[in-house]
């Protein structure tokens, strides 16, 4: 089974800090995604990447950047954390094109609190 590992389960950071969320997958997937999930708003796509050094903006990229230096690793960066970025962050990966029988595989999530 594909394993998607997010480096931290819980994080507490201060306003203005630069925050790095790391995601690693072990099955050679081309696609990687970062979503945030908030009550009543569902899963919203922040950024995705379909290849090393490639990145595409999702629906809510403001305040975030990403890095994909290696195929297996996709990092989400909060340049200057703000309280409205308190959320559950979910990383996912998939084949390209998407395998319809497997969809995405999600990591276990990082619950980030910005104080």
Partner 1 sequence: QKEVEQNSGPLSVPEGAIASLNCTYSDRVSQSFFWYRQYSGKSPELIMSIYSNGDKEDGRFTAQLNKASQYVSLLIRDSQPSDSATYLCAFLTGGGNKLTFGTGTQLKVEL
Of these, 27, 52, 54, 96, which contacts partner 1 (CB under 8 A)? 96
- Binding positions for partner 1, 1-20, rule CB under 8 A: none
- 13, two tokens: 């950071």
| Cβ pair 110, 89 in contact under 8 A | yes
String of contacts with partner 1 for each residue 31-50, x by CB under 8 A: x-x-x----xxxx-x--x-x
Tell me the closest approach of the beta carbon of residue 59 to partner 1, in angstroms: 8
Q: Integer distance in angstroms from the first to the last C-alpha of the chain?
A: 37
b or e along 32-65 (b: 16 or more beta carbons within 10 Å of the residue's beta carbon)?
Answer: bbbbbeeeeeeeebbbbbbeeeebeebeeeeebe
Tell the smallest beta-carbon distance from residue 83 to partner 1 (Å): 22
Q: Is residue 103 part of the contact set for partner 1 (CB under 8 A)?
A: yes
* Number of chain residues interacting with partner 1 (CB under 8 A): 24
Q: Which residues bind partner 1 (CB under 8 A)?
A: 31, 33, 35, 40-43, 45, 48, 50, 58, 90, 96-98, 100-104, 106-109
């Amino acid at each position: 089974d594909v394993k998607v590992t997010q480096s931290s389960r819980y994080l507490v950071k201060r306003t203005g800090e630069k925050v790095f969320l790391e995601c690693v997958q072990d099955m050679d997937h081309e696609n990687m995604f970062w979503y945030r999930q908030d009550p009543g708003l569902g899963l919203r796509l922040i950024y995705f990447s379909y290849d090393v050094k490639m990145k595409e903006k999702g629906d809510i990229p403001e305040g975030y950047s990403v890095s994909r230096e290696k195929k297996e690793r996709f990092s989400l960066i909060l340049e200057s954390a703000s309280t409205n970025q308190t959320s559950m962050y979910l990383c996912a990966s998939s084949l390209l094109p998407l395998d319809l029988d497997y969809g995405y595989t999600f990591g276990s999530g990082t619950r980030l609190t910005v104080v």
